[in-house]
Structure 1
Amino acid sequence: MGENLERLNANLAKMEELSKRMVNALAKKEGMDDPGLSGPGGDLYLKASSAFLNDMMTNPSKLMGQQVAYWSKALENFIETQQALATGTFEMPEDDEDAPKDRRFSNPMWRTHPYFRFVRKQYELNSEAIQQSVAELDLEPKEKSRVEFFSRQIIDLFAPTNYLATNPDALQKAIDTDGQSLVDGLENLVRDIEANKGELLPTLSDPDAFKVGSNIGTAEGKVIFRNRMMEVIQYAPVTEEVYRTPLVIFPPWINKFYIMDLKPQNSLIRWIVEQGYTLFVVSWKNPDPSYADVGLEDYIADGYLKAIEVAKDVTGEKQVNAVGYCIAGTTLSATLALLQARGDKSVKSATFFTTLTDFSDQGEFVVFLQDDFVDAIERQVGERGILDSFFMSKTMSFLRSNDLVYTPAVRSYMMGEAPPAFDLLYWNGDSTNLPGKMVTQYLRRLCQANDLADGGFELMGERLHIKDIKVPVCSIGTKTDHIAPWKNCYIGFEQFGSRDKTFFMSESGHIAGIINPPSKKKYGHYTNPKVKGTPDEWLEGADFHEGSWWPRWEEWLQRRSGAQVPARIPGESGYDILCDAPGTYVLEGKNS
């Protein structure tokens, strides 16, 4: 008893200390973000309310029917619980095994204990009622998508698993540990608030488990060029001979390039080098406010065109093969159109990983691509010069709020668990800032106006359009991608002017579908040599293949890479070695 009391007093003292730290951390919160970044404009609420009221006035019987059905189910749930408690029965029969299972409610108590069963079922009834009401609103499609998104956010926020009093796992652990789990959880909460300068976003991975260049991002190579936009890394060969045409990879600058080199066993960079290619990878600068006026033209001139020039100089070749991933693929398509307009044949072929070039269907990002949000982003970058990496992390996380916000928060803050040592989630948290001008160009001209696919994107003295791309191209979409849905990737790709077009669709999502090494034999892929017609028509005629798409792509790349020549060693071409891979720019930011 004395030992338990001593432990309790120590925990109370610890909580008092942590509470003071939390107050201090919250007091250091930087100036408020533009309110428009926190939610939709008032016009959306007005339109949703008007649509609901109009439905209620024109079809009151439907509303009455919905209400009666809801209250009937809620009353039935209450009576079942009351009867169980009145008879002293604290166990109930499990629900129908065929009912959909939500992994948040995996604890058997959610189905057998009267109190938790009541809470769960009432939450499910409330969620169903909200979703039904929203689904029946008569709104323009984009507005309806936004209402559905924000309604889902509310539903996810109020899940009973998110609150201590209605989470049996957290309550049980608090009892079992004499409150230690709650102390540990508060410590985790304070740590995250301190790390994010007064803002709250759960840490997804142990920040001390990985170090770029030590246990991730370790493929051997040298930085051979650096300017204000990027570093160019030339990777060391592991074969005596390599294909004549070098390969240049442009990763997205929203995150960092080492997603392609996390661990040796799933490193795309290592695998490409092992196949016998001279590989160059761009590592982008993480911009600070001094980059406010940097636009897409700077990324193209001082990034794409310069990296291509470096690769040509190093190898003595007249052409390179290029790869663009996500937003870097979008910009690669603009670069190809620019080269075509200039009569420059420096790029022999191009590959696109999960790349959107036609934004007519904005998918889940439609929520953030309407004027109220974009106006707020413009005001924010106008004031700060950059779009801060925290905003990008938060936005991406709330697209998958249960997986990337609430579940990690429950484990960390209520269960007191340490974040896992997970390399992919570590990378996910190592996001970057975006220059103000580039953000505005991307959102206004490419996403909202859809210039690349429609009227043409005016840049660098030319009007750029994806139909002007003529080089051989290959595109890889991923089946469950929520950032760049494969059908949207296909729609833009199908419009390219190239006669030689190849499209693959990999299983899984934006990251796992691309970082899918053959050795794991995990996700398969679809192929169809005919890139014409709708995405559904393409898929209907496609063949499924077990395993990674990497070898199939390498066969495509090999045919466009020339004969074998002696391997090129970094530093032997006249370009000085500036430092070892992964370089210095990749270390700038939150996880450095």
Structure 2
Amino acid sequence: MTREVVESSDTGRGAHPFDRLMHASMGRITGGLSPAALGLAYADWAIHMSISPGRQVELVEKAWRKATRLSLYAMRCAANGGEGHTPCIEPLPGDSRFTAPEWQRWPFNLYYQSFLLTQQWWHVATKDVRGVETHHEDVVNFVGRQILDILSPANYLWTNPELLEQTAREGGTNLYRGMRNWFDDASRRIQKQPPAGMDNWQVGENLAITPGKVVYSNRLIELIQYEPTTERVHPEPVLIVPAWIMKYYILDLRPGKSLVEYLVNQGHTVFMISWKNPTAEDAELGMAAYRRLGIMAALRAVNTIVPEQKVHATGYCLGGTLLMLAAAAMARDGDDRLASITLFAAQTDFTEPGELDLFIDDSQVTFLEDMMWHSGVLSSDQMAGAFQLLRSKDLVWSRMVREYLMGERGEMIDLMAWNADATRLPYRMHSEYLRQLFLNNDFVEERYDVDGQPIHPWDIRVPIFAVGTTKDHIAPWKSVYKINRLARTDVTFALTTGGHNAGIVTPPGHPRRTYQVHCRKVRDPYMAPDDFIAEVPSKKGSWWPEWHRWLARHSGNKVKPPQMGADARGYRPQRNAPGKYVLMD
């Protein structure tokens, strides 16, 4: 029945059901990666390489020089009792696999030096081959790195000196613990149980526990209003739109690490959208439904509960992208209910989308559409697999070495528990998002319509606060920074250290966070991102207080807190936060 319903979608036009069924079956084996997309990339690179004899000779020469360097290093090691003075090559920044002093002893120094030289050669071999499409070049380079990471000497007992010493020291008990860890993980996967350590974290008990009420719900969202903790509050409420690719409580993690708790304690009235985890029945919900049933329905409820006040709208990741679409449509229609817009790690312009671009082209999107056509949704496992591939060295191989060879179970922390509480994406919405925004960049290039009429990001005139994170591989900060080129209004941009999630969840008192912030008035000249880095001073600590002060400057004098819900107008408190949608598997 699901396939019949979803077949009506425009995204499946021209597709044969048998072909789509075969692609869906293949996707279960390949983890959602399109063999055709990978084959096209490799063929593009291989064909152009085959007709470039000069480049081939150059690569042979480079390989010979690297082999000579390694041989000379080996001879120095032999002359010095197995240790070399200066390595041939240093690991790339962020690669800590070979930093332990044990790796400088024979023969392990040769193992890792040979690996790094091969890794460097492959990078050169896949770059700057004339005629190869840039996307295909990046894919071939990426796949080569994945294969090399599998072969890293750090991954195997007999080539990893740290593992050998630990095994000898513990008499092999580390391998016994690792085997038990492996069997436990395998059993959990087979039985579809949560990962080890999740039992210590429960939503509504020690996660997402800021007091509040669900004051509105429909088939797609629950709207949570949080209880005030101050006698007086800023009159303009804050409406937060999280991404539906994640559970909302990333922003209400636990006491002391909750952005919601922080805002409420600073005198803000906070509303949060909690998205339903979609099933096959929701396959035909598209971007228009998410805007209408999500942001616009929530905004009506907030306007009813807090009447005659404009709203500080805040979007995180994909929620920020949707918020910009909604805000542009509102601006087009003369709807002035927004006081400001805040974007957390959210892209508007997708010309530089980051490493996720490796997985997104026409071939790959078609493959994903066929997988979703069969099930109605993109599963959480398929999404998690793509994100793990982007950081396989850290999220896959290093973890396997630590847990299955060293026998060390890492503690499940709050952020990890949230990350394991995954969601699905409905067929139509994800297909429209990938094609219209990610691939075609329709919003910025003036091809995106809402209710049959075009919208433009420069129609938005309310002030914008945008946050980027330095280590974001999902929404690179320079891509987020493009809002400075697009908006015809005042833009305050904050760049914080950390990644896509950890950089956002940065409460005051964080010992390692720094940030830079700059306000560009609408008539100020544009500052390039490299100039921003060079010229804007760095500040220690969390960016949260900076944002609170910005919100306060764009708010009126404090008033008494509004009531929880508005019974007479149909927005009565229905249940306690965190509600029921966030608990749905």
TM-score (norm 1): 0.87
The gaps in structure 2 that reach 5 residues or longer are 1-23
1:282 aligns with 2:273: yes
Deviations 1:463-497 (A, max 9, x none): 22212222222211222222111111121343123
| Equivalent position to 1:243, from 220, 234, 237 | 234
Q: How does 1:74-89 map to 2 (within 5 A)?
A: 74-76=70-72
Contact 1:95 1:111 in 2 (8 A): no
Q: Larger deviation: 134-143 or 44-53?
A: 134-143
Contact 2:88 2:113 in 1 (8 A): no
Q: Secondary structure at the match of 2:454?
A: strand
Deviations 1:65-100 (A, max 9, x none): 22321332344455567788xxxx6x5356559955
Q: How does 1:324-343 map to 2 (within 5 A)?
A: 324-343=315-334
- Going from structure 1 to structure 2, the CA distance change for 1:83 and 1:98 (only over 3 Å counts) comes to closer
- Going from structure 1 to structure 2, the CA distance change for 1:529 and 1:577 (only over 3 Å counts) comes to closer
Aligned residues: 550
Query: Which residue matches 2:506?
Result: 516
Task: Note the C-alpha offset of 1:529.
Answer: 2.5
| Equivalent position to 2:404, from 402, 406, 413 | 413
| Equivalent position to 1:42, from 15, 39, 43 | 39
Q: Secondary structure at the match of 1:65?
A: helix
Deviations 1:254-299 (A, max 9, x none): 1111111222122111110011011101111111111110111111
Contact 1:518 1:551 in 2 (8 A): yes
Q: Aligned equivalents of 1:169 and 1:100: distance in 2? A: 17
Q: Secondary structure at the match of 2:165?
A: helix
Query: Which residue matches 1:422?
Result: 413
**AA partner of residue 62 (structure 1):** E
Q: Aligned equivalents of 1:585 and 1:539: distance in 2? A: 41
Task: Note the C-alpha offset of 1:246.
Answer: 0.9
Q: Aligned equivalents of 1:383 and 1:493: distance in 2? A: 41
The gaps in structure 1 that reach 5 residues or longer are 1-29
Q: How does 1:43-62 map to 2 (within 5 A)?
A: 43-55=40-52, 57-59=53-55, 61-62=57-58
- Going from structure 1 to structure 2, the CA distance change for 1:427 and 1:137 (only over 3 Å counts) comes to same
Q: How does 1:157-556 map to 2 (within 5 A)?
A: 157-197=150-190, 206-497=197-488, 499-520=489-510, 522-530=512-520, 532-533=525-526, 534-556=528-550
Contact 1:202 1:409 in 2 (8 A): no
Q: Larger deviation: 531-540 or 500-509?
A: 531-540
Q: Aligned equivalents of 1:92 and 1:195: distance in 2? A: 44
Q: Secondary structure at the match of 1:474?
A: strand
Q: Secondary structure at the match of 1:266?
A: coil
TM-score (norm 2): 0.88
Q: Aligned equivalents of 1:178 and 1:319: distance in 2? A: 67
Q: Aligned equivalents of 1:60 and 1:313: distance in 2? A: 69
What percent identity do the matched residue pairs reach?
33
Contact 1:451 1:465 in 2 (8 A): no
Contact 1:162 1:410 in 2 (8 A): yes
Deviations 1:440-475 (A, max 9, x none): 011000011101100231233222221222222221
| Equivalent position to 1:122, from 114, 123, 126 | 114
Contact 2:490 2:519 in 1 (8 A): no
Task: Note the C-alpha offset of 1:158.
Answer: 1.4
- Going from structure 1 to structure 2, the CA distance change for 1:198 and 1:551 (only over 3 Å counts) comes to same
Query: Which residue matches 1:63?
Result: 59
Query: Which residue matches 2:5?
Result: none
Query: Aligned Cα RMSD in Å?
Result: 2.6
**AA partner of residue 527 (structure 1):** V
**AA partner of residue 452 (structure 1):** F
- Going from structure 1 to structure 2, the CA distance change for 1:551 and 1:457 (only over 3 Å counts) comes to same
Q: Aligned equivalents of 1:332 and 1:380: distance in 2? A: 28
Query: Which residue matches 1:5?
Result: none
Contact 2:188 2:194 in 1 (8 A): no
- Going from structure 1 to structure 2, the CA distance change for 1:120 and 1:98 (only over 3 Å counts) comes to closer
**AA partner of residue 252 (structure 1):** A
- Going from structure 1 to structure 2, the CA distance change for 1:373 and 1:196 (only over 3 Å counts) comes to farther
- Going from structure 1 to structure 2, the CA distance change for 1:584 and 1:202 (only over 3 Å counts) comes to closer
**AA partner of residue 42 (structure 1):** G
Task: Note the C-alpha offset of 1:587.
Answer: 1.6
Q: Larger deviation: 466-475 or 531-540?
A: 531-540
Task: Note the C-alpha offset of 1:197.
Answer: 4.1
Q: Secondary structure at the match of 2:471?
A: coil
Task: Note the C-alpha offset of 1:202.
Answer: 12
Q: Aligned equivalents of 2:137 and 2:287: distance in 1? A: 32
Q: Aligned equivalents of 2:292 and 2:573: distance in 1? A: 23
Q: Secondary structure at the match of 2:312?
A: strand
